Chain A
Amino acid sequence: DIQMTQSPSSLSASVGDRVTITCRASQGISNSLAWYQQKPGKAPKLLLYAASSLQSGVPSRFSGSGSGTDYTLTISNLQPEDFAAYWCQQYYTTPLTFGGGTKVEVK
């Protein structure tokens, strides 16, 4: 199985901040990496796929980068609606695996 290590597990930030979340795979995943946002009581929502491609309708303040085993989600100019949990997931192979999640909280 490919293990996904996501960090940090939580962070505190303010509106307008730039936030960075990282995800490391235990082996190369050829950019087959997705990022999801999840709000309480809701299903995860796809933000980015193929490591850096923005899903339709997702604000451009969300961006992704990385290659090989290391990937990053960046939220620039954090907005009130961005306080949520974020998950990375590799879809390079089954079993599909997720990172442990990052909760972005209000500072």
Chain B
Amino acid sequence: QITLKESGPTLVKPTQTLTLTCTFSGFSLSSNGAGVGWIRQPPGKALEWLALIYWDDIKRYSPSLKSRLTITKDTSKNLVVLIMTNMDPVDTATYYCVHRAQTALIDYWGQGTLVTVSS
């Protein structure tokens, strides 16, 4: 059974750096084809994909946010970290950690964590 859980601050100030951690179980990020990603959703708005990291350490980022994002993994600890710099109030959203299957499908989601950007 695959599970993912996000953790990190609930409130950050403008210009600060956000660090979110995804802790997962039920799969190995060293398995061929596996991946973990991040998707966010501002309150009342649409879903937006942010980043993906694959089993072979290849990383993919949203083009519009690429300069602000870094995704890393620790396979031995079953965790993935997303760093987003220069936070702004428009980045207020629920951030979801997701599992990418070998077929590229996003099939499992964490419960999400609401991050508010405010001074």
Contact = CB atoms under 8 A, between A and B. Distances in A.
Nearest to A55: B107
Chain A residues touching B, majority SS: loop
B49 A44 contact: no
B47 A87 contact: yes
Most buried by A among B39, B105, B109: B105
Given A94-B60, A95-B63, A101 B107 contact: no
Given A94-B52, A95-B60, A49 B105 contact: yes
Contacts of B60: 94-95
Interface of B (DSSP majority class) = strand
Contacts of A99: 46
Contact of B110 (A1, A43, A87, A101): A43
B107 A46 contact: yes
B111 A43 contact: yes
Contacts of A42: 111
Interface residues of A, number: 23
A43 B112 contact: yes
B51 to A, nearest CB: 9
A1 B106 contact: no
Contacts of B111: 42-43
Contacts of B105: 34, 46, 49-50, 91
A91 B98 CA distance: 13
Interface of A: 1, 32, 34, 42-46, 49-50, 55, 87, 89, 91-92, 94-101
